Structure 1
Amino acid sequence: MYVKDEDQGMFGLIGENLSHVQDMVYDVNNQLRSMMESGGLAYLELDPISCCCYLEGLVGTSRSDFGIQLSQDKGFDYKLFTMIAWDPPGYGYSRPPERAYGKDVYKNDADLAAELMAKLGYNLYSLLGWSDGGKVALLMAIKYQSRIDKLVVWGTGATVTDNERKTLNIFRNVSLIKADSRELYEKEYGQGFQAMVDKLADHYTYLDDICKDEVHKIRCPTFVIHGDNDPVALEHPLYLNEKICDARLHRFRRGGHDCHKEFSEEFKKIVTEFLLE
Structure 2
Amino acid sequence: MPNMITKDIDLYYELYGEGAPLMLVAGLASDSQSWQPIVKELSRYYRLIIPDNRGVGRTMPQNVETSIRHITDDCIALIRYMGLSSVNLLGHSMGGFVALDCAIRYPEHVSKLILAGTSACCSERNNALLSDWSSYMESGMNPELWFRNIFYWIFSRRFFEDKEALDNALRFAIEYPYPQTEIGFKNQVNAIKAFDCRDALHTITSETMVICGKEDQLIPPEESTEVLHAIPGAIFSFVEHAGHSIDMEKPMEFINIVRDFLSCREP
Q: TM-score range by the shorter chain?
A: 0.7 to 0.9
Contact 1:42 1:94 in 2 (8 A): yes
Instruction: Compute the TM-score of the two structures, normalised by the length of structure 1.
Output: 0.77
Determine the C-alpha separation between the residues in 2 that align with 1:189 and 1:176.
21
Determine the C-alpha separation between the residues in 1 that align with 2:179 and 2:102.
33
Alignment partner, residue 82 of structure 1: 47
Matched, 1:109 2:71: yes
Contact 1:61 1:87 in 2 (8 A): yes
Shift of 1:199: 5.4
Contact 1:185 1:193 in 2 (8 A): no
Counterpart of 1:50 in structure 2: which amino acid? Answer: A
Distance 1:109 1:197, change over 3 A: closer
Determine the C-alpha separation between the residues in 2 that align with 1:54 and 1:199.
21
Shift of 1:194: 5.6
Instruction: Report the number of matched residues.
Output: 237
Shift of 1:95: 2.1
Determine the C-alpha separation between the residues in 1 that align with 2:178 and 2:251.
27
Alignment partner, residue 23 of structure 1: none
Matched, 1:27 2:2: yes
Counterpart of 2:22 in structure 1: which amino acid? Answer: C
Matched, 1:217 2:203: yes
Distance 1:46 1:200, change over 3 A: closer
**CA deviation vs aligned residue, 1:150-198 (integer Å, no higher than 9, x gap):** 0111121111112212332454361323354444343336776566555
Distance 1:251 1:217, change over 3 A: same
Distance 1:197 1:184, change over 3 A: farther
> Superposition RMSD on alpha carbons, in Å?
2.3
Alignment partner, residue 123 of structure 2: 161
Distance 1:199 1:181, change over 3 A: farther
Determine the C-alpha separation between the residues in 2 that align with 1:52 and 1:183.
29
Q: Which moved more, 1:171-180 or 1:54-63?
A: 171-180
Name which of 168, 177, 184 aligns with 2:150: 177
Matched, 1:70 2:20: no
Contact 1:186 1:193 in 2 (8 A): no
Higher relative contact order (CA 8 A, sep 6+): 2
Contact 2:28 2:93 in 1 (8 A): yes
Distance 1:54 1:124, change over 3 A: same
Determine the C-alpha separation between the residues in 1 that align with 2:62 and 2:181.
15
Determine the C-alpha separation between the residues in 2 that align with 1:262 and 1:67.
12
Unaligned runs of 5+ in 1: 1-25
More helix by share: 2
Distance 1:188 1:90, change over 3 A: farther
Determine the C-alpha separation between the residues in 1 that align with 2:113 and 2:230.
14
Counterpart of 1:188 in structure 2: which amino acid? Answer: Y
**CA deviation vs aligned residue, 1:117-138 (integer Å, no higher than 9, x gap):** 1110111210010011110000
Instruction: Compute the TM-score of the two structures, normalised by the length of structure 2.
Output: 0.80
